[in-house]
Amino acid sequence: MVKKLTTVTLAMLMTTGVLSACGASETNSNTGNNKATNANATNTTAGATDTAAEAPAAEKIVIKYWYAYGDKIEEAKQHMVQTFNESQDKYEVIAEHQGTYDDLHAKVQAAFAAGDAPAVTDLEISSTGVFAHSGMLEDLTAYAEKDKDQLKLDDFNPGLMGNAYVDGKLYGLPFMRSTPILYKNVTMLKDAGLDPAGPKTWDELEQYSKVLKEKGKLGMTVPADIWFYEGLVAQSGGKMLSEDGKTAAFNSPEGVAPVEFWKKLVGEGLIKIPMGDEAGATADKDWSNQLSAFKFASTAGVTGSLELAKQGGFEMDTAFMPSNVSYGVPTGGCQLVITSKSSDEEKQAAWEFLKWMTSKENTIYQHKHVGYLPTRMSAVESDELKQHFIEFPQFKVAVDQLQFARPRPMENAYPEVAKVIREAIEKAILDPKVTPQEAMDQAAEKANKLLGK
């Protein structure tokens, strides 16, 4: 176990930042403190008198929940935790912020090794395999079967379940889930004489960017992020890894095509690909400051982007990521998991908490508050969200795009592989002497060694 944990920890600490970025129990069935009363016979000079003395109320079972990211995401999580704690008096959840997904994962691994892991944690979906194979996660299959009528597992959107299972076993429940989508500055497009309904394809994105360049603007600022790259590979008809997950597949023509496309557009001054740790922040700033008409970003940013557009005095809209041979998009975000070293009573408390957090009502709440995908079909079909989509159609795009979604790879080495891929893409774009095919072939060679361990 120690060897496995060491390997996992090294893999997770080496990974680059991954973007991202709800059991149907409305109330806990085990709520309430049933106060026991004991009859105490007390003899007095007036005779025997029975008095009922109440025993002290049972202490609550307290568990820790560690989560990632702040701002409106944190607001939503803290609100739901508070509501859970107030809904019953058997359990108490203490929610603690732990930074980004990378920060959170590293801290959970360290705490697990020290025997002090939180009972519940957010887990970025592509890391599910690493954590499950290391023995850090509780298998939820039996829990889900026992509470199948209450949980309604088949109510979760099928497009979001691909990363919930490892080796046929259930390890997580979809929570704050996302896909990348296209954000558009509609005002900028109209001013340039462009149809704000587009661009719908790579070719249209290139043509739009050429027109915008003539107006002194960029088509897009986009980091060479693995999540976005996975989407472009899917749109080209390719795969990241072989079916068995043991070899790289991203150096195929379908995997090289996105890098060739990006390099061409950068070379012509049509788009900008910033490098380094602040690449994502740079892309967001260029879009909000109206230097770039488009950005790729998580659906979790819809609420915030609407606010930025209002402050900036421009109209914004969202759309599918433009297609190549087809549409395609990776899913992202996190699921809720239970750590395996918790006590039995902590695990039961954690399971009740998971069901609460992933309920229909809570998925509606967090979707409207932040923008993350509504994970349950009953939520999507609810009158509340139907009305919400009419008023704010920007939120519905990610839901509709799920028909083209695919799960992220979950091989143990994938976090390291993702870093290798990003470095190769950046090298191909920065170095005029390196072709995209050469860069991806070199990355595939490194990836195969990692995947073969």
pLDDT at 3 > cutoff 60: no
Model confidence over 192-202: pLDDT tens digits?
A: 999 999 999 99
pLDDT at 288 > cutoff 80: yes
Residues 6 or more apart whose Cβ sits within 8 Å of residue 381 = none
Q: Stretch 368-387: mean pLDDT, rounded?
A: 95
How many angstroms separate the Cα of 222 from the Cα of each of 101, 195, 227, 288? 20, 21, 11, 13
How many angstroms separate the Cα of 93 from the Cα of each of 64, 81, 114, 353? 6, 7, 21, 8
Whole-number pLDDT of residue 277: 86
163: confidence class by pLDDT, cuts 50, 70, 90: very high
Q: Stretch 173-177: mean pLDDT, rounded?
A: 96
**CA–CA distance, 310 with 161 (Å, rounded to integer):** 35
Percent of the chain predicted with pLDDT > 70: 87
Q: Stretch 83-111: mean pLDDT, rounded?
A: 96
| Top-level class of domain 180-330+413-451 | alpha beta
**pTM score, whole prediction:** 0.83
Residues 166, 160, 177, 174, CA torsion sign: negative
Model confidence over 325-335: pLDDT tens digits?
A: 999 999 999 99
Coil, strand or helix at 57 = coil
Number of Cα atoms under 13 Å in the Cβ half of residue 240: 28
Closest CA to 28 of 127, 147, 177, 137: 147
57: confidence class by pLDDT, cuts 50, 70, 90: low
Model confidence over 143-158: pLDDT tens digits?
A: 999 999 999 999 999 9
pLDDT at 41 > cutoff 50: no
| Dihedrals phi, psi of 218, to nearest 5 degrees | -95, 145
Model confidence over 398-437: pLDDT tens digits?
A: 999 999 999 999 998 998 999 999 999 999 999 999 999 9
Residues 6 or more apart whose Cβ sits within 8 Å of residue 214 = none
- Please name the residue that has the structure tokens 């060897």: 3
Coil, strand or helix at 368 = helix
Q: Stretch 233-248: mean pLDDT, rounded?
A: 96
To the nearest 10°, the Cα dihedral for 351, 356, 357, 360?
130
Question: Do residues 295 and 220 touch, judged by C-beta distance below 8 A?
Answer: yes
Instruction: Examine domains 8-23+59-178+332-401 and 180-330+413-451 and report if their fold is the same.
Output: yes
Whole-number pLDDT of residue 23: 31
What are the residue ranges spanned by the domains of the chain?
A: 8-23+59-178+332-401, 180-330+413-451
pLDDT at 304 > cutoff 80: yes
Residues 182, 230, 256, 429, CA torsion sign: positive
Model confidence over 310-360: pLDDT tens digits?
A: 999 999 999 999 999 999 999 999 999 999 999 999 999 999 999 999 999
Cα distance between the two ends of the chain? 17
Write out the H or E segment, with its range, that includes residue 420: helix 414-430
Residues 6 or more apart whose Cβ sits within 8 Å of residue 376 = 22, 24, 155, 156, 157, 358, 359, 360, 363
Whole-number pLDDT of residue 14: 37
- Cα angle vertex 146, ends 365, 27, to 5°? 35
**CA–CA distance, 374 with 354 (Å, rounded to integer):** 16
Name all contacts of 107-114 with Cβ < 8 Å and 24+ positions apart.
Answer: 107/66, 108/66, 108/136, 108/339, 109/5, 109/8, 109/9, 109/12, 109/136, 110/9, 112/5, 112/136, 112/339, 112/341, 113/2, 113/5, 113/9
Question: Do residues 69 and 80 touch, judged by C-beta distance below 8 A?
Answer: no
Whole-number pLDDT of residue 294: 98
Model confidence over 22-39: pLDDT tens digits?
A: 332 233 333 333 333 333
Percent of the chain predicted with pLDDT > 90: 84
177: confidence class by pLDDT, cuts 50, 70, 90: very high
- Please name the residue that has the structure tokens 């790259």: 229
pLDDT at 246 > cutoff 60: yes
Six token digits for residue 307: 């606010």
- Per-position DSSP letters for 326-364, written without gaps between them: S--EE-EEEEEEEBTTS-HHHHHHHHHHHHHHTSHHHHH
Closest CA to 296 of 372, 356, 219: 219
**CA–CA distance, 316 with 312 (Å, rounded to integer):** 10
Domain 8-23+59-178+332-401 has CATH 3.40.190.10: yes
How many angstroms separate the Cα of 348 from the Cα of each of 134, 217, 280, 401? 22, 55, 39, 35
